Amino acid sequence: MNNIWQEILDVVEEKMGKPTVEAFLKPSRAIINKEDNKLTLIVPNEFIKTYIEQKSGKLKNIIEDILEGENLKLSLEVDESIGNLSQEEYLENNNKVEKNEQKGFLSKYTFETFVVGPGNRMAHAASLAVADNPGKAYNPLFIYGGAGLGKTHLLQAIATTIRSKKPNLYILYITSEKFTNEFINAIKDDKINSFQEHYRNIDILLVDDIQFIAGKERTQEEFFHTFNTLYESGKQIVLSSDRPPKEIRTLEERLRTRFEMGLIADIQPPDLETRIAILQKKAEIENIDIDPEALVLIAEKVASNIRELEGVLTKSMALCSINQESRITIKHAQEALKNIEDNKLNNLPTMDEIAIAVSKVMQIKLEDLKSRGRKSHQANARQIAMYLCREMTKNSLPQIGEYFGRDHSTVIHAYERIKEDINKDQTLKRIIEQIRSFLKSV
């Protein structure tokens, strides 16, 4: 394995230069599956994956030529967790994943690497308290906020800290989607008893994106009993969501009340100073040399999402390496930001996509957005959809009105109302951020 990977590194460096190796291959990890005759190149972000797949035919051809001699095919995957692991460490972790019940932990997510600001201070303090005193400080701890703001980071940091202090505890980090899938498989394979025994003997249960169990009646019932068993046994439960329990529609009331029994802490988008500190921390961890002006520019332009913020820094670093330069300047930052801005212009959502996003986030039927229904929730969702169509598309007021079966004056009223209320209604603001995040993810 190491011989093939080293050969790839050596040949690419000889034919394309060291900067290409440093920018695109050194941050990546390789795994060979001989049964599938495949080498999977694990890359840390979509930028590198797209570069290898679409923009650098020469690099891809060199790798495939070497693999052809070994009767292997090339496959590319993204795994953001690989940044702090060497090739050997990644292979070791990958081998352990299949055997270790406590898989899913990412070593880079610690309290030391989490940047605290006004928008996340309470959630951070509560997470620290839980990590220091599980089962007693805040139970359950419910953390909510938009995509890419650090919820997963805090859950992982809690798990990492407890594991280091109390290695004998059984800790499980899982997404609600995985919990649901495992429950469905247990029903299918007639293994409900073993499923229940597994989940009800955990010491620390951390569930990401718990909002996705809403509407799934049997999954909610099973999680309700799991929650009760663990809570009554003094076990720690930590949940994350994109919204507070009271805003998760079709969530059973008995679950809602249990989620609200402990502490609810929200995470807001970081302010400018916090965004700068986040970039400084990432640059320090990854030993990136960057001009202060470039750092401030990135922080000013990317305001709502930490994941996107760090992505721009990574792209700036790649551009710097390609140009065989050692320090990220404002020129590299501008180029990386230009790519994002161009993508936003070229990928404007359609009114259909906005309507779907609104229906998903607000848990309302798609047809209700265009109906004559006057129920408060329907009307509110419709006005939000109109507002976003006006903000995010190039459609005219009459076109938006026609789409929703209304005239243009109704669209103007909806737009002005949401525009005014968004500055004073935090719940409304959070819903719109969730819809925007949903649109970015599809």
Round to whole Å and give the CA distance between 438 and 430: 12
Find out whether 49 is annotated in a ligand binding site.
no
Comparing C-alpha atoms, which of 37, 3, 31, 27 is closest to residue 91? 31
Contact between residue 350 and residue 315 where contact means Cβ atoms under 8 Å apart? no
Q: With the C-alpha atoms ordered 356, 358, 361, 363, is the resulting torsion angle positive or negative?
A: negative
Contact between residue 74 and residue 60 where contact means Cβ atoms under 8 Å apart? yes
Find out whether 250 is annotated in a ligand binding site.
no
Find out whether 150 is annotated in a ligand binding site.
yes
The residue type at 378: Q
3-state secondary structure at position 360 = helix
Find out whether 151 is annotated in a ligand binding site.
yes
Round to whole Å and give the CA distance between 322 and 59: 13
What's the N-to-C CA distance of the chain in angstroms?
35
Which tokens in the block code for residue 303? 């305001």
Q: Helices H, strands E: what count in the chain?
A: 21, 8
The residue type at 401: G
Residue 142 β-bridge partners:
239, 264
Residues annotated in a binding site for ATP: 148, 150-152
Residues annotated in a binding site: 148, 150-152
